């Protein structure tokens, strides 16, 4: 599966660098995560999604060409996500069409944002789709 032009624009707009730790929220079949893994050198990307089927597809498609330890997938909803004890925080998080972050499920938004803020470094940034092509959400109220 290849990047659509819209997803390519989103990945290209992310402030990535070698060694960055990235959390993709709502990764679906992992298309963006695989592309990011190619761009971050010895960095790390974790894709999470609430759908078991999406995570199964993501894991299957990531087997070839992704160095071990750079890319992982986990089935979990963002409002339930917690950074595992001892894991370093993420430098950046992003989400594309995630209802808990784009206004479709406002009852989940506060918990989702609090969990994301706890999983990021103090200067970590959160981007969602919805602008040209991304907009940054402030996590200051959750820090």
Residue-wise pLDDT tens digits, 113-133: 999 999 999 999 999 998 889
Contact 61, 85 (CB under 8 A): no
Parse the chain into domains and list their residue ranges.
5-10+22-137
- Position 2 confidence tier, pLDDT thresholds 50, 70, 90: confident
Average pLDDT over residues 10-39: 96
CATH architecture of 5-10+22-137: 3-Layer(aba) Sandwich (3.40)
Q: Is the confidence at residue 55, as pLDDT, over 80? A: yes
To the nearest 10°, the Cα dihedral for 103, 34, 119, 112?
20
Looking at the DSSP bridge assignments, the partners of residue 24 are 47, 94
Mean pLDDT of the chain: 93
* Segment holding 45, helix H or strand E: strand 44-49
Average confidence (pLDDT) over 98-113? 93
Nearest-CA neighbor of 46 among 67, 31, 25, 62?
A: 25
Q: What is the pLDDT of residue 37?
A: 93
Residue 31 has pLDDT above 60, yes or no: yes
| Better-predicted residue by pLDDT, 104 or 90 | 90
Does position 62 have pLDDT exceeding 90, yes or no? Answer: no
Q: Is the pLDDT of residue 72 over 90?
A: yes
Q: How far apart are CA 119 and CA 40, in angstroms?
A: 19
**pTM given for the model:** 0.95
Q: State how far the Cα of 72 lies from the Cα of 99, in Å rounded to an integer.
A: 22
Q: Give the integer Cα–Cα distance in Å for 58 and 41.
A: 20
Bond prior to 133 in cis (omega within 30° of 0): yes
Assess contact for 35 and 65: CB atoms under 8 A.
no
């Amino acid at each position: 599966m290849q990047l659509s032009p819209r997803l390519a624009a989103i990945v290209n707009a992310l402030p990535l660098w070698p060694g960055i730790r990235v959390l993709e929220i709502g990764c679906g079949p992992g298309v963006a995560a695989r592309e990011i893994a190619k761009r971050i050198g010895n960095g790390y990307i974790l894709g999470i999604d609430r759908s078991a089927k999406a995570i199964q597809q993501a894991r299957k498609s990531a087997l070839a060409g992704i160095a071990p330890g750079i890319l992982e997938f986990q089935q979990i909803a963002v409002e339930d996500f917690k950074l595992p004890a001892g894991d370093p925080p993420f430098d950046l998080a992003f989400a594309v069409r995630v209802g808990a972050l784009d206004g479709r499920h406002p009852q989940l938004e506060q918990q989702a944002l609090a969990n994301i803020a706890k999983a990021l470094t103090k200067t970590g940034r959160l981007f969602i789709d919805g602008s040209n092509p991304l907009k940054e959400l402030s996590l200051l109220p959750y820090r």
